[in-house]
Amino acid sequence: MASGTVRIQVEDHVAIMTVSRPEKLNALDLDMLKALARAADEVEANADVRAAILTGEGKGFSAGGDIKAWGGMRPEEFGHAWVRYGHRVFERLATLRVPLIAALNGHALGGGLELAGVADIRIAEEHIKIGLPETGLGMVPGWSGTQRLVKRFGAQVVRRMALGGEIFTAEEARVLGIVDAVTSSGNVVDTAKEYARRVASRGPAALEIVKLMIASANGEDNGAAVEALGSILVAKTADLKEGVASFSEKRPAKFKGEW
C-alpha cells in the first residue's frame, strides 16, 4: 500500500498539487517520490493548465526525505534508488512547462527546501522555518541542495544553511531571496492561488518560452531548454510540414526555406 499520494485539483487554469502524507508532515519516501512524478506528468499533459501550485496537507509543507525510508539502505542503493531517482523527480517538477508556485504552509527543511526550490515562485507563511540541516546528521543535501539551490539562492546563502546549520525564519528567507513573499499563517494557499491566477491570465506560449529562456540564462538544463525552444520554432515552419509530407509520400523534399 502506498504511504501517501499527491492530490491534484484544477480550477481557473491552475493545478493545485497537494502532497498528502500529513501523519509524517509530508515526509518523502519512494512511494511519495513516485506520486510526485505522476503528478508532474498529469499536470504537464493537461492543456487547460497554465500555472501550478505545490503545497502540503496539514501542518507541514514537507519534512524532506523520510529517514526511515533511506536509513537502512545499502550505500549503492541509497545513491541510485534514493538520491538519483529523487533528482530525476525534482528535475521533472523544475522543468514543468507551466510556472510553478510553492505555497509553504509549514517548515521547509532539508529535502523539503529542495522540493520548494524546484518552484519558480515561493510564498511562505510567517511562522515557518527554512534550512538545510543534513550535515548535522552526518550527510549532505542530495536532491540538488548544493546545485539548483546555489543557482537560485546564491552560494553564500546555501553555505550558511548547509555548512553553518543556520535556520531562517520566513521573513529572513524573504530578505535573502529564498522566498518571494510572506503571508499570515493559514493564508498561503489563497495567496498562491491569487498569484497563480495572475500568471494564468498571461499568454501561455509566452510563459512557457520565457520560463525556458530564464532557465537557460541561469545555467539550468541548458541543453534541453535550447533544444525545446528550437523545436517549438521549427515545428511552426512550412519546411517541417514539407519534410513530413515528403516522407509520407515517399518523395524527395522540396524545401523553400519558408517559416
Query: Which residues participate in catalysis according to the annotation?
Result: 114, 134
Q: Please name the residue that has the C-alpha cell 518571494.
A: 180
Whether residue 118 contacts residue 68, with contact meaning beta carbons closer than 8 Å, is answered with no
Positions of E strands within 45-132: 51-56, 100-104, 108-109, 121-125, 129-131
Give the residue ranges of DSSP H helices in 122-221.
148-153, 155-162, 170-176, 188-200, 204-217
Greatest alpha-carbon span in the chain: 67
Written in H, E and C, the secondary structure of 129-146 is EEECCHHHHCCCCCCCCC
Going by C-alpha positions, the residue among 81, 104, 101, 105 that lies closest to residue 93 is 101
How far is Cα 229 from Cα 251, in angstroms, rounded to an integer? 29
Element (H, E) at 113: helix 111-116
